Amino acid sequence: MGGVYNIELAMAINHQSSTSRSNRKGKINVRILSGENDADLPPLIILHGLLGSSRNWLSAGKALGQGRTVYALDLPDHGESEWTDDPSFEEMSFRIRTWAEETGIGCADWLGHSLGGKVAMRIASDSPDLVRKLVLADIFPRVYPPHHRSDFEAMEMLDTHSIPDRKAADAALAERVSDWALRQFLLTNLVRDEEGGFRWQVNLTGLHRNLSKLAAMPFGEGVLPIDCPTLLIYGGKSNFVRAEDLDDAEDFFGNLRARRLENAGHNIHVEAKDDFTRTVREFLGG
């Protein structure tokens, strides 16, 4: 059962229309990447990184679906999920926990990359009963320099109403974002509007305003250290997880296993997909 949620199930889960963003429940968009359901293997819930979406996990997510159901979510303020008034770890985790509880998933395995990893940590701390095992992909609980700030500025300066097509959008964005691959990633957030023009699907203004909050520690008043078995899998070419971070690991995790993939950068699930998915499957038990 691949692809996006079917309409009937989406209507049952997503209580709001996309025009109403004041209710805290909000809409969480979900892709089911594997429909297998083995009684011995709980579902796996995947949370993507900043400015990404569930689409970033189509390949790796399906590879992790042997014998289990895999749900890839659009974080609040991203993809087809509804926006929040004030993007934060508290609000994102609340909406996702509400989705999990109302869907009846129960205790599941959670995998979060980058920002999604911080949100997953918050969920594991606030609602440990929802998390059997936790996988953190190239992210650690520490304060980071605000990420993508210059990219947000470049995106905000793009006149989405006047560009005729995606090729023109790429050319305009290239004036401020020289890296082709990064531009293509950013442009995954550009979608057609109802008038036939373009708009940013991501909550650009809210996320940009709160970048410093999202670069900070993710925890609230929940339980620390996180006691569930946790895998920290990170790239040897990335600076998101440093050797000195591991010295503080016991402050946050009671049962941590760390694995470094030497030839991978921050997008570890893409750059070292086979090693990544094999390591995660072994850890999760599937």
How far apart (Å, rounded) are the C-alpha atoms in residues 6 and 8? 6
pLDDT of residue 5: 29
Domains of the chain: 7-142+217-284 (3.40.50.1820), 149-208 (no CATH)
How far apart (Å, rounded) are the C-alpha atoms in residues 95 and 214? 16
pLDDT of residue 12 exceeding 50, the answer is: no
The pLDDT of 113-124, averaged and rounded, is: 98
pLDDT of residue 41: 86
Greater model confidence, 67 or 92: 92
pLDDT of residue 24: 58
Distance from the Cα of residue 150 to its chain's centroid: 20
pLDDT of residue 21: 37
User: What are the tokens at 83?
Assistant: 């926006």
pLDDT of residue 10 exceeding 90, the answer is: no
pLDDT of residue 223 exceeding 90, the answer is: yes
How far apart (Å, rounded) are the C-alpha atoms in residues 134 and 97? 15
pLDDT of residue 39: 57
Residue from 254, 228, 28 nearest 131 by CA: 228
List the Cα angle 48/54/58 in 5-degree steps. Answer: 110
pLDDT of residue 36: 63
Is the CA virtual torsion 65, 70, 74, 79 positive or negative? positive
pLDDT of residue 6: 31
8 Å CB contact between 110 and 134: yes
The pLDDT of 10-28, averaged and rounded, is: 46
Distances (CA, A) of 142 to 13, 132, 221: 33, 23, 16
Residues 135-170: tens digit of each pLDDT: 999 999 999 998 899 999 999 999 998 999 999 999
pLDDT of residue 147: 84
DSSP-assigned states of every residue in 95-155: HHHHHHHHHT--SEEEEEETHHHHHHHHHHHH-GGGEEEEEEES--SS--PPTTHHHHHHH
pLDDT of residue 144: 96
pLDDT of residue 61 exceeding 60, the answer is: yes
User: What are the tokens at 184?
Assistant: 């293509």
How far apart (Å, rounded) are the C-alpha atoms in residues 149 and 155? 10
pLDDT of residue 16 exceeding 90, the answer is: no
pLDDT of residue 286: 52
pLDDT of residue 196: 84
Indicate the burial class of 259 (C-beta count within 10 angstroms; 0-12, 13-18, 19 or more). middle
The pLDDT of 94-118, averaged and rounded, is: 96
Greater model confidence, 146 or 252: 252
pLDDT band at 2 (very low <50, low <70, confident <90, very high): very low
Name the percent of the chain lying above pLDDT 90: 84
Helix residue spans in 174-267 (DSSP H):
180-187, 204-209, 211-214, 243-246
pLDDT of residue 40: 72
How far apart (Å, rounded) are the C-alpha atoms in residues 227 and 147? 29
The pLDDT of 230-239, averaged and rounded, is: 97
